[in-house]
Structures are given as structure tokens and as C-alpha cells.
Amino acid sequence: MRIGRAGLVAAVMGLTLSCSAQDSLGTVRHAITDGAPDDGDPGVVALLLDGLLYCTATAISDRAILTAAHCLPPAAATITVSFGSDVEAGAETWSVVGHRTDPEFDPITRHADIAVVVLDRPAPTGVVPWPLLDDPGPIATGTRIRIVGFGQTSIDHDDGGLRRRGEATITEVGPTDFRIEPDPSTTCVGDSGGPAFVTVDGVELLAGVTSGGDDACSEYGRDTRVDAFRTSLVEPFLRSLAPGTATTGDRCYGPEHCRSGICASAVDDATIRYCSAPCEVESDCPRAMSCEGPDDGRRACVFHAPTPGALGSSCIDDDDCASDLCARRSADSAYTCSAPCDRDADGSCPEGFECRASTEPPARPACFRRSPGAGESCAIGGTGPKNATFLWIVAIALLLRLSGTG
């Protein structure tokens, strides 16, 4: 359970998944070492990037899983979720339709390294969501925990993809994270985002999310504390996913999420969906939406591009954006939804956008709408999302070779 392949990719591409300054490349930890194959935790799932294992997660409701924030790649990449115990067995996969990270997540220090991911449909029958730890008491030095993940068994073995379990001991506790040491197991490549369970009164509770560790997968691991973000992030977002809670114009993750029963796809970003509703005239729709359709047929409230949350749309904070990044290209420009990019890589921004340094600390490169007359930019070479996904795969392969993890 380390930063695994996602963290390695960040090191090459300069994206928001860069390694921790405190743990260096050690935040690239992965599979369960000295553990055992695990067929008994169906709620612990594998995250796949274009079909390749790169992180782990845990079911916390029928439509949501909990993982590390650094496990979320750019919007251009395709994430799927496998509920099987063996990725190579070709288990059915679920699509990801949304996510929420803590606004204080720092990709450099890994502070607040936690995220809730929304699935396109309910989890398989038999998957029981894990209860969350709400009492910080069990998070103490000397507490034994159970860890689960799909990562490698050592830094020298490219054997990730099989769910494994093991035990470790908490050796250090901070306000929002804790450190573990092997007892006899620890985490390794591919385990990032996976769970650490504690037992309270005979009940196992989800206490930690794997965030980092040493690069040899042998000395220690670091987990984000679930109890530190339960009331501020996890539970409020889960409540917002309840059926019928989204109104016209709100983001939605399926028809049942909307009071109107209509969840429409944005015209400029198929990954963004919002609640629509039947209408007859403009005043039937919220401001910023239009009533459109044939005069003699069914009309509905729709957004014109840029759809709220899509690249280039206006924003106030990161939560307004599907990419979780609200930024501006200069001190006198407006804030817009952007996405991390690499200024040296072709295709890391969609067509019509260019990779520029943002004004927000630490001024990481981000995709902004191309200015009229602007020269060639990171969008050179294609349509953007497809090329960006390709770059992720290339970066993964390169970094695994350079780090000796594959």
C-alpha cells in the first residue's frame, strides 16, 4: 500500500501525484509483503488505469469506495474498478463517474491524502460496505492492524494483481495520519489507497488509507486517518449521493440521484452529468440553463458549453470542478476549472487548451483555454484525452523500469 504506480507516474509527468517530500520515493509503496492470498474481503477492490492495476480501494457504500487522493489520475485517464480477488481473472469492472477529495490535499506532503470515488452502479451482491472508525482511541502506538491490497509482495517481484492480507503495528500517530511497521507484513507497489482495519469490540472498522512508505517495501508505511476526515469529507459526500438529493443543475451520478429522474451528459465532457428537467419556457429552468428542444416535442433544461465543472468553466474553489482544480493563469484573469499537465509532453491538455503555469501556489502547470493567436502548446499532437492516457501508460512503464518495481 504505497503510492505505487500512480506515484511513480507523477514523478515523471510532474502531475499532482508527485512523491512526498518527507518520504521521498518511499511514498511509492505497493503490495502486501509477508501476507496471504485473500478471498474473504470482497469490499476491497482494485483500481485499474486503462486496465492496468495501480491502486487499491475499499467499499464504504453501495455506490462509493474510499482510496487515496494521489490515486486519482488526470481526468483524461480512464479508471475502472474490479471487485474480483484476482485482476488477471478478468472479473467484471465498474466505471468511475465522479469523486471528491479533501480541499486540503497536498500532493507534495501527502497531507489529507484521501478521496471518495463514485461508481456507475451499485456494487455486486454480497459486498458489504465497511463501517468507518469514528473514535480516535484505537489509533495508538502499539495497536495491531490488518492491511489488505492488490500490490506486489516485494519490490523485486512484479506479482501485483492478487488481493492479499497481512498484519502490521502502528508505531507513530499524527493528527491526520499514522505510521506502521511490519508485524510481519507491510505494504508495497499497488497497495496505495488500500485499507488498514482495526478491531473494536469484535467489529472490524476502516481506520486508515494507505498513502506512502519506504521504497524497499520493508521498513514502514504511512496511512491517512479515516476518523480525521469522516465528518468533514466522507460522510457529507455520501449523504449528497442519496437518491433524490440532487436538484436541476446539480451534478448527478445516475437518474435515481435526481429529483427529476433525469441525469444528462454534458455536451463538452461526457464524464460530467447533471440533473435536467422537462420545461416549456426559459423561466422553468434555473439561471444559467436554457429550455431547449423541438417546439412540438419534449423540451428540457440544458447547459451550454462550458458546462459547470468542465475545463474552462468558471469556478470559486476546487470542489466546483470535475478535475478538483480551480486555478487562474495570471493575477488579472478569472478562475476557471483546469487540470494538471506536463509542459514538456504533447497531448497532456485537451484540444483547445494549453499547458501554462498557474498563479496558485506552488504554481504547478495546468490546462487553460488557449488564447487567441497562441502558438503551439501541450495540445500539439492530437485530441488530448487519448494522448494523455497514452502518456500515463508510457510513464508507468518507464518509471517501473527505473525504480526496479517491474
Candidates 120, 117, 23; CA nearest to 69 is 117
Asked whether residue 30 falls in the same domain as residue 81, the answer is: yes
Asked whether residue 125 falls in the same domain as residue 33, the answer is: yes
In a domain, 75, yes or no: yes
Asked whether residue 210 falls in the same domain as residue 175, the answer is: yes
Asked whether residue 293 falls in the same domain as residue 147, the answer is: no
Name the one residue in this structure whose C-alpha cell is 462509493.
Answer: 64
Q: Give the cell for residue 124.
A: 455486486
Whole-angstrom distance, CA of residue 215 vs CA of residue 4: 10
Cβ-count burial 157-188 (b if 16+ within 10 Å, e if not): bbebbbbbbbbbbbeeeeebbbbbbbbebbbb
Asked whether residue 71 falls in the same domain as residue 200, the answer is: yes
In a domain, 310, yes or no: no
Asked whether residue 146 falls in the same domain as residue 28, the answer is: yes
CATH number, domain at 11?
Answer: 2.40.10.10
Output the pTM of the full model: 0.75
In a domain, 59, yes or no: yes
Give pLDDT tens digits along the chain (406 positions): 333 333 333 333 333 333 333 333 233 333 467 667 788 899 999 999 888 899 999 999 999 999 999 998 765 568 899 999 999 887 889 999 888 998 888 888 899 999 999 999 999 999 999 999 998 999 999 999 999 999 888 887 777 889 999 999 999 999 999 999 999 988 888 899 999 999 999 999 999 999 999 888 889 999 999 999 999 999 999 999 999 999 999 999 999 999 999 999 998 887 789 999 999 999 999 999 999 987 667 899 999 999 999 999 999 988 888 887 899 988 889 999 998 888 887 777 888 899 988 887 667 788 999 876 544 333 222 233 333 443 443 333 333 333 333 3
Which range marks the domain in which residue 328 is found? 318-394
